[in-house]
Amino acid sequence: MGLVVLRRKRPIGLPHGLERPSSSANDVYLSRRNDLIAWGRKYSMWPFNFGLSCCYVEMATSITSKFDISRFGSEIIRGSPREADVMVVAGTVFAKMAPLVLHMYEQMMEPRWVICMGSCASSGGMYDIYSVVQGVDSFLPVDVYVQGCPPSPDAFMRGLVLLGEAVATEKRPLSWVVGPQGVIRTVKPSLRDTMRPERQKQTDLRSPDEV
Amino acid sequence: MIATTGTIGELSERFGAGSLPAQSTKDGVPTVWAGAERFREVLTWLKSREGGSYSMLLDITAIDERSRAHREDQPPADFSVVYYLVSMERNQDVRVKVPLLGSYPSLRTITDLWPNADWYERETWDMFGITFEGHPHLRRILTPPWWEGHPLRKEHPARATEMGPYHMSSDDAQRMLATLEFKPEDWGMKRENGDHQYMFLNIGPQHPATHGIVRFTVQLDGEEIVDLVPDIGFHHRGAEKMGERQTWHTYIPYTDRIDYLGGLLNNFPYVLAVEKLAGIEVPERAQVIRVMMAELFRVISHLVYYGTFSADLGQMSPLFWMFNDRERAFDIVEAVTGGRMHPAWFRIGGVAMDLPAGWDRMMRDFITYMRRRIRDYDVTVMKNRIVKARTKGIGLVSKEEAVAWGATGPFLRASGVDWDLRKKRPYGGYEKFEFDVPVGTHGDSYDRVAMHVEEIRQSLRIMEQCLNNMPAGHYKSDHPLATPPRKERTMHDIETLINHFLGVSWGPVVPAGEAIAVAEGSKGNHSYYLVSDGGTMSYRTRIRTPSFAHIQMVPMLCRGLTIPDLVAILGSIDYVLADIDR
């Protein structure tokens, strides 16, 4: 892959694999083109303005000023699937809606990602009922699962950050005629396992009798 | 208890003694059985009754009676169709039940008597397979067109996991989508008018202006809306079937998710209905806590409504401000209940736990803060010239139309009908509070918003009274069916211990009977009609929601207007998708 020379005064974050040659001046950085593009993708994940039920209200809350999703480069909510990078399946996947969800996912352009927000979208959650599809992953590839019913805006944004981290290390062909084809994704970690030691350290739980 | 006077007495006088057997219910609503051959006559008479007519059809539903054990004072039936009428003049309700025999029975429609019977009959057909003869469009409404079976029949599987793994390929999806194609002929619409064609514009089910997954197909003549067909059911989550397998106690979280912006406001009618069935009296402190939290959720829900309405009209800042105010309210909800949107915090017989120390300071700060903010929003939204131009005189509903179509809540009051259940039929302790009920004059979109704004003020007033007069006492009843039971005496005697164990593990066994509780939600009247067959679960749970009735009125509201008006009208109707499709 070709080398890219970046010139900027104050980098906001270093792309993965970006090196600063010791011989060069302070404002020159070198990076592989693939890494640079992945870094750019990480900070400009545009969600599709798409919601199914309760979870969407919490997703919309993350856009408002207390939570401010624009800190992660995702405040540009796109109304058309063609312009969106990430589809947040926010809510229950209903039997009548499932074909539409798939149809809209197929209308999105590569590269595209899916965040599965909330218990219903992940597994059906508390709705093991005739009209609910038990998990959107039965017909869509899911990148990140966010738990909660509904997840708080913080939980959703954490999922978005996790997805950003995965996207930044993903290897994709630069074009359908250049280089090896196929996407090399990072292994998805299970946060339940990685967070367990830290969570087990917590022994003092706040009493619900005080505000 | 069956009253022999009042409506039942009048009915037997008019139709002959014994011809309309009465049934006793736990809610005290006069209930009569009328045969399929004369129920229309009975309903017509009730509708046109002199000196207080039952002018509003609140609900139509059905019960699959085939496996019900306790039907002692009821005529034989495989299915029964239930009509629920409200008389505002008399401030009384009546329930008319029609017994039907056979596995797929049929009945005459009443769409000619009440226009809103249209969707209710479609729903009953969709859910039970009961045919309504003479109905103009008897087709599926909540389930998709490719569905087989009628979900609320007892033989229909309840769980998705009973129905095998879900498979859907891209081709399957396209085949299903083809069945959703809109054909104007199906709805008696013409494609062209003489020299020019109509344009059919599809809005939704995925569209920012629809506030959720609902679809409107608009018939346009140039810019003008000729007609509109709402397509609902995209959000059908089987909440009523769910009630038939969750215990009385574990169903509470499902109610939060009906009007998912209303949180605890949804718990209210459900626990009231169970308490009527079980005969539980709620202690005073629990009542006041309930009222306070319900009013807090009314403010939360109205803030989302107010913000999204102004965003629909193109305003940006109010939405952000109001969502921030909502976060402040959620801080209180989180401190008190531990949850945010869906706390499921009311319990049968009280609430889940007592208020935490320091709640009063948070509540007082919020009330003071919110009063100031609401004044600011008057300037930015309600007095805004563009907002006025786009909503005044748009989406008009007259008093008579609102009643005939079963509108409730702020929607009904905007049309000039003074009907607030908290005032007219105080439930859950509302009779102790002073507040005013705002009533509109024009019935347009602007009035509907103005009702909500004033209601925020009134809710703050009620919350302040709760704050200043919070009674001491227990937060839960000591009735043995209150769930989970009170803990104090559990470890001291074996009877209480057994009762506690059963209440927590199996859930309470509620005596057989029927009861409805209607409450004033943020969007209108929510009702839970519960049928107990003497078990740990409900035999039939019927949830009547306001948004269902209001969305049915959209075609009437926007004929002759334009697409931007439709967006403003939808913004002014406070609706939530789960509240339409359940």
A-chain residues near B167 (CB < 8 A): 138-139
Tokens of B396: 């008009």
Which residues 112-151 of chain A have a CB within 8 Å of chain B? 124, 126-134, 138-139, 149-150
B160 → closest Cβ in A53, A99, A128: A128
> pLDDT band for position B264 (50/70/90)?
very high
CA distance A1 to chain B (A): 36
Tokens of A105: 């996912």
pLDDT, residue B255, reads 93
A-chain residues near B578 (CB < 8 A): 53-54
pLDDT, residue B23, reads 86
A-chain residues near B151 (CB < 8 A): 130-131
Three-class SS string for B220-265? EECCEEEEEEEECCCCCCCHHHHCCCCECCCCHHHHHCCCCCCCHH
pLDDT, residue B582, reads 87
B569 CB burial (10 A radius; 0-12, 13-18, 19+):
buried
What is the CA angle B399-B401-B402, rounded to 5?
Answer: 65
> pLDDT band for position B14 (50/70/90)?
confident
pLDDT, residue A19, reads 58
Three-class SS string for B534-564? CCCEEEEEEEECHHHHHHHCHHHHHCCCCHH
> pLDDT band for position B211 (50/70/90)?
confident
pLDDT, residue A10, reads 47
- Give strand pairing partners of B61: B82
Q: Note the ipTM here.
A: 0.88
Which residues 45-64 of chain A have a CB within 8 Å of chain B? 49-54, 56-58, 60-61, 64
Distance CA B396, CA B110 (A): 25
Contact A210 B147 (CB under 8 A): no
pLDDT, residue B5, reads 61
Region A161-186: mean pLDDT is 81
Region B343-365: mean pLDDT is 91
Q: C-alpha distances in angstroms, B269 versus B231, B249, B510? A: 28, 14, 16
CA distance B249 to chain A (A): 15
**What's the whole-number average pLDDT of chain A?**
83
Q: Note every long-range contact of A143-147, with CB atoms under 8 Å and residues 24 or more positions apart, other chains counting.
A: A143/A113, A143/A114, A143/A115, A143/A188, A144/A113, A144/A114, A144/A115, A144/A116, A144/A188, A145/A116, A146/A115, A146/A116, A146/A117, A146/A118, A146/A122, A147/A118, A147/A119, A147/A122
Backbone φ and ψ for B31, nearest 5 degrees, come out as -130, 125
CA distance A25 to chain B (A): 44
Which of B75-84, B243-252, B495-504 has the lowest average pLDDT?
A: B495-504
Residue reference for tokens 């250049």? A178
A-chain residues near B326 (CB < 8 A): 61
pTM: 0.89
Residue reference for tokens 């007219």? B424
Helix H segments across B82-160?
A: 117-128
Distance CA B359, CA B336 (A): 7
Q: C-alpha distances in angstroms, B249 versus B271, B349, B528, B532, B541? A: 9, 11, 14, 13, 13
Distance CA A161, CA A184 (A): 19
pLDDT, residue A1, reads 42
What is the CA angle B386-B457-B516, rounded to 5?
Answer: 110
Q: Count the helix, strand and coil residues of chain B and give each as a percent rounded to the nearest 5.
A: 40, 15, 45
Residue B293's nearest CA partner among B318, B271, B274, B273 is: B271
DSSP state of A201: T
Contact A66 B324 (CB under 8 A): yes
Helices B359-377 and B284-312 pack at an angle, to 10 degrees, of 30
Which residues 168-207 of chain A have a CB within 8 Å of chain B? none
Q: Within 10 Å of residue A102's Cβ, how many Cβ atoms? A: 22
- A27 vs B71, residue with greater confidence: B71
Q: Is A98 on the interface with B (CB under 8 A)?
A: yes
Region B377-402: mean pLDDT is 91
A-chain residues near B577 (CB < 8 A): 53
3-state SS assignment for residue A194:
helix
pLDDT, residue A3, reads 53
CA distance A36 to chain B (A): 33
Region B11-21: mean pLDDT is 80
pLDDT, residue B437, reads 92
Question: What pLDDT, in 10s, does the model give residues A7-51?
Answer: 555 445 555 555 555 555 555 666 677 778 888 888 888 898 888
Interface test with chain B among A129, A133, A140, A207, by most B beta carbons within 10 Å: A129
Mean pLDDT comparison of A38-47, A151-160, B204-213, highest-scoring range: A151-160
Distance CA B518, CA B516 (A): 7
Is there a contact between B105 and B79 (Cβ–Cβ < 8 Å)? yes
Q: Count the helix, strand and coil residues of chain A and give each as a percent rounded to the nearest 5.
A: 35, 15, 50
Q: Is B262 on the interface with A (CB under 8 A)?
A: no
pLDDT, residue B522, reads 92
pLDDT, residue B195, reads 87
Region B488-513: mean pLDDT is 86
Is there a contact between B261 and B576 (Cβ–Cβ < 8 Å)? yes
CA distance B543 to chain A (A): 16
pLDDT, residue B52, reads 78
pLDDT, residue A26, reads 56
Residue B73 CB contacts under 8 Å (≥ 6 apart), including other chains: B21, B23, B24
Region B292-301: mean pLDDT is 94
Which residues 195-224 of chain B have a CB within 8 Å of chain A? 205-206, 208, 212-213
- B188 vs B323, residue with greater confidence: B323
Residue B27's nearest CA partner among B281, B277, B287, B348 is: B277
B-chain residues near A206 (CB < 8 A): none
**What proportion of chain B, given as a percentage, has pLDDT over 70?**
99
Distance CA B453, CA B262 (A): 16
> pLDDT band for position B60 (50/70/90)?
very high
Tokens of B576: 């939530």
Tokens of B142: 């909540």
Interface test with chain B among A70, A107, A130, by most B beta carbons within 10 Å: A130
Question: What pLDDT, in 10s, does the model give residues A64-106?
Answer: 888 988 888 888 888 888 889 899 999 999 999 999 999 999 9
CA distance A189 to chain B (A): 26
Interface test with chain B among A48, A49, A53, by most B beta carbons within 10 Å: A53
Tokens of B167: 């498979």
Q: Is the pLDDT of residue B369 over 70?
A: yes
Q: Quick one: closest CA in B to A62, which residue?
A: B323
Backbone φ and ψ for A197, nearest 5 degrees, come out as -55, -40
Tokens of B342: 């869906």
B163 → closest Cβ in A66, A103, A130: A130
- Give strand pairing partners of B543: B528
Distance CA B168, CA A175 (A): 30
Distance CA B405, CA A45 (A): 45
B238 → closest Cβ in A51, A97, A130: A130
> pLDDT band for position A6 (50/70/90)?
low
Residue B180's nearest CA partner among B160, B210, B150, B202 is: B202
**What's the whole-number average pLDDT of chain B?**
90
* Radius of gyration of the CA atoms of chain B, in A: 24
Q: Is the dihedral of CA A108, A113, A118, A124 positive or negative?
A: positive
Question: What pLDDT, in 10s, does the model give residues B154-183?
Answer: 999 999 888 888 888 888 889 988 998 888
Which of A95-109, B39-53, B230-244, B326-340 has the lowest average pLDDT?
A: B39-53
3-state SS assignment for residue B201:
strand
pLDDT, residue B496, reads 84
Q: Which amino acid is at B285?
A: R
Q: Is the pLDDT of residue B1 over 50?
A: no
Question: What pLDDT, in 10s, does the model give residues B504-539?
Answer: 888 888 999 999 999 999 999 999 999 999 889 999
Is there a contact between B560 and B225 (Cβ–Cβ < 8 Å)? yes
Contact A98 B242 (CB under 8 A): no
Contact B341 A132 (CB under 8 A): no
